Amino acid sequence: MNLKPLLALVLSLAVAGCTTNKTDAILGSALVPASVTDIAGNHSIFIATTRKRSDDPSKVFDGERSATLNFARINVTVPREHKVGQIERRKRGKSDDPSKYFMASEAVGYDTGPQFSQALSADVAARGGRVMVFVHGYNTGFDAGVYRATQIAHDSGYPGTPVLFSWASGGSTTSYVYDKESASVARDQLEVTLRLLAQSGARRIDIVAHSMGTWVTMETLRQLAITGDRNLSGKLGDVVLASPDIDVDVFKSQMRRYGKPEKPFILLLSQDDRALRLSGMLAGSRPRVGDYADAGKELADYGVTVVDLSKQKGADSFNHTKFADNPVMVRMLGQRLREDDGFATDREITDRIRQVTQQAGAGLL
């Protein structure tokens, strides 16, 4: 047996993924004081998670699976010197300084769903009834998921309530199988979360899912369709699938069961996504939706609008997070999410996406 290809794949996975760290401390001591002028934004991120609570209070949740859905709210400040597309994180050995880094200033836990729902409802009402759910991908520690949700909400200028659905990723490059199984475990709880949001006064629920998180999302939407409530009683807004780590045939099957949506799902792909290329190798050289060259041609009939980001530059060498770390794209994503389509037609929505992608130098397939 020739072990060289396998060794090369393992070494590649050692530097691939959505993040490179296990769950780290998210609550610091904030030793360095910061004035109001040092802070660009203060965001309350609501959390629904299938992770266990960590024995280390500074981490809040770890990478182990919980048998029940847990809830929290974390306040995160963004420094004034923040650059769009980046997440400025404290380096090891540096002091907690809100004027330089993303910093969690407070974490509040909720013992029950009703307690969480009450706090959430108040925030949703204050923000006009809009909710954005972010579902992270493979190899993502809890802290990294919180910071990414914050960065997307901040850089996009999203006016509604940001909610992070954090499934129990192992947060390591060697935990791909564990993560895929954790994603499977999380499907029912994401459905519970979406229904809870629909009952908490939200008039519109947007979903932004990344990488393996798109698989959790599609499976949950499939389940909703089976129950006869695929659009959450009309409250489902935009569904943005960024770099989907889903087998193409599996995705088609999911869409067939879901049915053609009232307005197209937005699929962001990049043919130079090296992380998905590695995922495809693990799957026996099966193409993933997120780097599939023929996606535009094959998926249009399913009610999917495909945006090709291949010409856009990513901040990481694997080109796997362009939707959030490319300054132009995250602003364009925000422009899309800030719009309230009401009863816009498919053509009107497609025209708007085309305008956004042309401004960003991307392609609409």
* CATH code 3.40.309.10 for 26-362: no
**What confidence tens digit (pLDDT) does each residue in 93-121 have?**
788 899 999 999 899 999 999 999 999 99
Please check the confidence at residue 13 and state whether its pLDDT lies above 60: no
pLDDT band at 185 (very low <50, low <70, confident <90, very high): very high
Helix, coil or strand: residue 50 = strand
Residue 191 has pLDDT above 80, yes or no: yes
Average pLDDT, the chain: 85
pTM of the complete model:
0.88
Q: Quick one: pLDDT at residue 179?
A: 95
Taking alpha carbons only, the member of 90, 87, 202 closest to residue 136 is 87
Pick from 62, 40, 36, 39: nearest CA to 49: 62
Lookup result for tokens 């990513």: 314
The C-alpha atoms of residue 2 and residue 223 are separated, in whole angstroms, by 42
Q: What is the pLDDT of residues 234-279, one digit of tens each?
A: 999 999 999 999 999 999 999 999 999 998 999 999 888 777 877 7
**pLDDT for the residue numbered 359:** 58
pLDDT at 184: 96
Range with the poorest average pLDDT among 146-160, 216-230, 265-279, 321-335: 321-335
| Residue reference for tokens 């072990």 | 3
Q: Considering only 240-244, 248-252, 281-285, 312-316, which range has the smallest mean pLDDT?
A: 281-285
Asked if residue 14 has pLDDT above 70, the reply is no
Between 354 and 323, where is the model more confident?
Answer: 323
Q: Is the pLDDT of residue 305 over 50?
A: yes
Contact predicate 237/265, CB 8 Å: no
Report pLDDT digits (tens) over 141-169.
999 999 999 999 999 999 999 999 999 99
* pLDDT for res 345: 52
Residue-level pLDDT at 12: 44
Structure confidence at residue 293 as a pLDDT band (50, 70, 90): confident
Contact 315, 86 (CB under 8 A): yes
Predicted confidence band of residue 347 (pLDDT cuts 50, 70, 90): low
pLDDT at 1 over 50: no
